[in-house]
Structures are given as C-alpha cells and as structure tokens.
Amino acid sequence: MKPKNISSSLKDVASYAGVSIATVSRVINADPKVKGETALTVQKAIKTLGYRPNRVAQRLRVTNARRRLIGLLIPDIHNPYYVDIISGVEQYAYDQNSTVIIGNFSQDPKKEELYIDILRSESVDGFIVATTPRTEKK
C-alpha cells in the first residue's frame, strides 16, 4: 500500500481495488452503470491511496459539460470593496462544486485583456469582470 503523501495514479487505484482503470474513471464520474459494492471498493481505494483526479486532464476530456471553473477579474484587490465580492463569488462557486481563478489586473487594460485571454484559453464556464471607467470598453 502506498502512503497517502505520495501521489497515486488512476492505475494505482485500479490495481489496489482490483478493477479496471475504466471502472475507476466511471466511479469518479458517478456513472450509474457501476454496481454499488464495486463503487464502494473503488472509493475506499481512492481514500486509502489519497488519489486526487487531475482537473486539467478532466477539463481536456470534457467537451460540452461544465468544467467547474469560474474566472473573476478584479481591478484592485487591495480595495476593501472587493473583499465581499470575492468572498461571495468564491462561496457560491464552492457550493456549486466549482473553483474560482482570481486575477487582479490593477486597473491596467492590457493586464485585464491578458487575463481575459487566459480565461478563454482555459475554457472556463464563465467569468466575472469588475471593470472600472478606465478599463471599460464602450
């Protein structure tokens, strides 16, 4: 058995649980075709080995489904006004089993555009941009 602090692979989980890699993948993706006892065995192996799915790899495989990734662009992260906004967006995302990528563009239109390009390339489900009069495009 591999200690929890060492990164495990899908193959390690499959071997430990005595199932195929495809079965492990089905359990991770909550496929109803997997029998309850098999799913429990795989979930126990995942927990025992400390396996964490690679979110980047998952996003590459997903075509039309949600990627569970939201972008949030803030013009000035030091401004206390944005603390509640960041906290609220992050909590909502967490409640939806999603993750937030936060970018501070410091009221710089070029930096804002860079962050928008990066978020598009990451195929986020959506992004929120808090613009300022200096960066807002008319």
- In eight-state DSSP terms, residue 128 is E
Does 92 score more than 50 pLDDT? yes
The string of pLDDT tens digits covering residues 34-90 is 999 999 999 999 999 999 877 666 656 655 556 788 999 999 999 999 999 999 999
Q: Are residues 79 and 118 in the same domain?
A: yes
For 120: left if phi > 0, alpha if psi spans -120 to 50, otherwise beta; the answer is: alpha
Host domain of residue 124: 69-129
Q: CB-side exposure of 118: number of CA atoms within 13 Å? A: 15
40 alpha-carbon distance from chain centroid: 24
Q: What tokens appear for 84 in the block?
A: 């509640």
**Paired tokens of 94:** 């967490």
Are 43 and 29 in contact by the 8 Å Cβ rule? The answer is no
Does a structural domain hold residue 59? no
Q: Global pTM? A: 0.56
**Domain contains 137:** no
- CA-to-CA distance for 136 and 138, rounded, in angstroms? 6
Q: Are residues 34 and 80 in the same domain?
A: no
Residues 49 and 77 in one domain: no
CATH number of the domain encompassing residue 73: 3.40.50.2300
Give the number of domains in the chain: 2
